[in-house]
Structure 1
Amino acid sequence: MQKHTIAVIIPCLDEELTIASVIQDYHKALPEAEIYVYDNDSTDHTAQQAVKAGAKIRFCTIPGKGAVLRQAFHEVNADIYVLTDGDGTYPPTMVREMIRLYMENPKSIVIGKRKNAKKHAVMSCSHAIGNRFLSVMFHVLYGFENIDVLSGSRIMGRDFVKSFPALYDGFETETEMALHAWMQHFDIQSLDVPYLDRPHGSQSKIHTVRDGIQIVKLALAGRKGTVC
Structure 2
Amino acid sequence: MTGDVCVLLPTYDEAATVADVVTDFRRHGFENVLVIDGGSTDDTRDLAREAGARVEIQSGSGKGQAVREAVARHVDATYVLMADADGTYEAADAEAMLQPLRDGTAEHVIGDRFADMHEDAMTGLNSVGNTIFNSLFALIHREDYADILSGYRAFTRESFERLRLTADGFGIETEMAVECARHDVRTTVVPITYLPRPDGSNTNLHPVKDGGIILMAIYRQAKTSNPLFYFGSAGAISGLAGAAVAAYVAYEWFVLKISHNVLAIVAGVGIILGVQLLIFGVLSDLLVTLHSETLDRVERLEAQAGGESEGEQRADPPEQ
Instruction: Report the TM-score, using the length of structure 1 for normalisation.
Output: 0.91
Q: Distance in 2 between matches of 1:135 and 1:102?
A: 23
1:15 match: secondary structure = coil
**Secondary structure at the residue paired with 1:48?**
helix
Aligned length: 223
SS at match of 1:225: helix
59-68 vs 85-94, which moves further:
59-68
Give the match's secondary structure for 1:201: coil
- Establish whether residue 7 from structure 1 lines up as the match of residue 6 from structure 2: yes
Tell me, in whole angstroms, the C-alpha distance in 2 between the residues paired with 1:188 and 1:135.
15
Q: Deviations over 1:64-116 (max 9, x none)?
A: 10110121011111100000011110011111011112222355311101144
* Corresponding residue of 2:257: none
Given residue 190 of structure 1, which amino acid in structure 2 is its aligned partner?
Answer: V
Are 1:166 and 2:195 counterparts?
no
Q: Does 1:58 align with 2:56?
A: yes
| Alignment-derived partner of residue 205 in structure 1 | 204
Corresponding position: 1:187 with 2:186: yes
Runs of 4+ displaced beyond 3 Å: 115-118
Q: Given residue 141 of structure 1, which amino acid in structure 2 is its aligned partner?
A: I
Q: Is the 8 A contact 2:108 2:188 kept in 1?
A: yes
Structure ranking higher in helix proportion: 2
Q: 1:77 to 1:195 in 2, by over 3 A?
A: same
1:82 maps to what in 2? Answer: 81
Structure index of larger Rg: 2
Aligned-residue CA RMSD (Å) = 1.8
Q: How many Å separate the matches in 2 of 1:77 and 1:166?
A: 19
The aligned counterpart of 1:68 is 66
Query: Does residue 39 in structure 1 map to residue 53 in structure 2?
Result: no
How far apart in 1 are the matches of 2:145 and 2:184? Answer: 18
Greater relative contact order structure (CA < 8 Å, 6+ sep) = 1
Does the 8 A contact of 1:69 with 1:166 survive in 2?
Answer: no
| Alignment of structure 1 residues 114-193 onto 2, 5 Å | 114-115=113-114, 116-118=116-118, 120-193=119-192
Richer in strand (by share): 1
Gaps of 5+ in 2: 226-320
Query: Unaligned stretches of 5+ in structure 1?
Result: none
Secondary structure of 1:177 counterpart: helix
TM-score of the two chains, using structure 2 as the length reference: 0.66
Relative to structure 2, which stretch is displaced further, 97-106 or 21-30? 97-106
8 Å CA contact 1:149, 1:174 repeated in 2? yes
CA 222–26 in structure 1, closer or farther in 2 if over 3 Å, else same? same
| 1:4 to partner: Cα distance | 6.3
Quote the Cα distance in structure 1 between the aligned partners of 2:105 and 2:68: 21
Give the Cα separation in 2 of the matches to 1:30 and 1:184. 33
Shift of 1:63: 2.0
Per-residue Cα deviation, 1:10-47 (whole angstroms, up to 9, x for no partner) = 0001111111110111012233x411001111000000
